[in-house]
Structure 1
Amino acid sequence: MTRSGESSYVYKKGGNRGGDSPKKREDSEDEGENWGSGDRFSKDLSFAGESRGEIEYEEECLDLLRELMLAASEEASLHLRLVNLLNEARNETIRLSGMIAMLAFFEDKREIAKLRREIEPFFQKYVDA
């Protein structure tokens, strides 16, 4: 026996022609049980002979993926809608500031200053940003 608990084999010159000894077969079977067992992987990934639980698991994963795709699609739709609303607000703010500038020629200057003070926060928020 070696330090690791495995038996050491001495081979004859020219190899082991007489076949495996019973002792050697027992040792190789023990080694197979230790590290070749099915405990290494939690799930067999082969598709042949899938159990009912594996099929249900895959169907549940597919359902969750569908929900994720729908949520991602809805998020993209809402994002596009938000961008469109932001562009619309920006355009309306620019249009209003243009109307205020046009009124400067025809109306009282004090009223124009009041309108400019009211529109300035919107202009900074939607146009300057």
Structure 2
Amino acid sequence: MQVLFVDDEADAREFITTVLEQHGILVTAVNSVAEALEVLERSRPDVIISDIRMPDEDGYALIRKVKALEAEKGWQIPTAALTAYLAEDRAKAIKAGFQSHLHKLAEPTELVAMVAQLAGRG
């Protein structure tokens, strides 16, 4: 299983990558929407996880671009919003097009379970 993880914080990228890789999940971690789109030009991950609040372009900009790319290529990639903000509106993330939403302080087992569910392997 392959996951594309987008987060501007290096510590978050390292932690999430480690958690997922410990469960046999291949992770491509990038720090911006632009880098994520470059990866999507070359490959199609099973799941995309994105931080919501990032400088320049945020997770909402990413989901809009992913949905446009899906329409163009005939893909459907499950996506999850991951945020450090307790007040982040889960309903807003789901309405924007994310299939799932999780807080960064969630237990690692919750993260792995969410990825497996999104990939249809849960």
When normalised by structure 2's length, the TM-score is 0.19
Q: Which has the higher contact order (CA 8 A, sep 6+)?
A: 2
When normalised by structure 1's length, the TM-score is 0.18
**Comparing both structures, which one devotes a greater share of its residues to strand?**
2
Q: Could you say which structure has the larger radius of gyration?
A: 1
